[in-house]
Amino acid sequence: MIEKILEILPISLRDEAVKATAYAEEKHGGQFRIGGEPYANHVFRVAEAAAEHALAAEMPPETVRILAISALLHDVVEDTDATIEDVEELFGKDVARVVLALSHEDEDELDEIYLARVAEGGELAILVKRYDKLDNIVSLPQAPADFRRRKLSENREALPLWNRMDPEGAALIEELLKEIENG
């Protein structure tokens, strides 16, 4: 998975991507998703999808750097002992700004507040969140039935917010929700 990310990125960005990958893997070490998968696999998939998007959109190298590194680190402040200051020191202000926009303030934060902050974080924060959400939805069939039903319902309820923030992403999310609900 990491190799795929490195293949997508321009050569000039690969060293920093390796550093961010190692940091994410270290910080998420010992964490597992529902179903037993190492948590780091999730952030690697999100980064891969974001990098592929950047490549298809022909984004400039600096934008690709911010997007890919932010995707690798999108949960590190929220789910580990890393601080936003650590992220800024290691990867710069632009990455830290995106990671901060993506970090829930607490577990019970309302979608309206959280997604408004993501939107304020700009296009790159929105893109990382899109691919994070899509990967989270894809993992729902492996989740216990009660958790799956609750998350499907929460995602359905948030679709109007997504439509305002990211219409393209909202369509992808809705399509994926239908697939899982029907199947």
Q: What is the pLDDT of residues 109-160, one digit of tens each?
A: 999 999 999 999 999 999 999 999 999 999 999 899 999 999 999 999 999 9
CATH number for the domain spanning 127: value is 1.10.3210.10
Contact indicator for 144, 159 with CB cutoff of 8 Å = no
- At residue 116's C-alpha, the angle toward residues 81 and 51, to 5°, is 65
Instruction: Give me the catalytic one of 25, 52, 79, 111.
Output: 79
Answer yes or no: is pLDDT of 71 > 90: yes
Of 167 and 6, the structure prediction assigns the larger pLDDT to 167
Gap between the Cα atoms of 155 and 141, Å rounded: 14
pLDDT at 34: 84
pLDDT at 55: 87
Residue 78 annotated among the catalytic residues of the structure: yes
112 vs 20, 34, 100, 117, 165, CA distance in Å? 30, 25, 16, 9, 11
**pLDDT, tens digit (0-9, with 9 covering 90-100), for 13-33:** 889 999 999 999 999 999 999
Contact indicator for 34, 144 with CB cutoff of 8 Å = yes
Tokens of residue 79, six digits? 């789910």
Contact indicator for 9, 51 with CB cutoff of 8 Å = yes
Count the domains in the chain: 1
Instruction: Give me the catalytic one of 78, 88, 111, 174.
Output: 78
Tell me which residue range forms the domain holding 159.
2-181
To 10 degrees, what angle do helices 123-138 and 111-120 make? 140
H/E segment holding residue 174 = helix 167-181
Report the predicted TM-score, pTM, of the whole model to 2 decimal places: 0.95
Gap between the Cα atoms of 132 and 102, Å rounded: 10
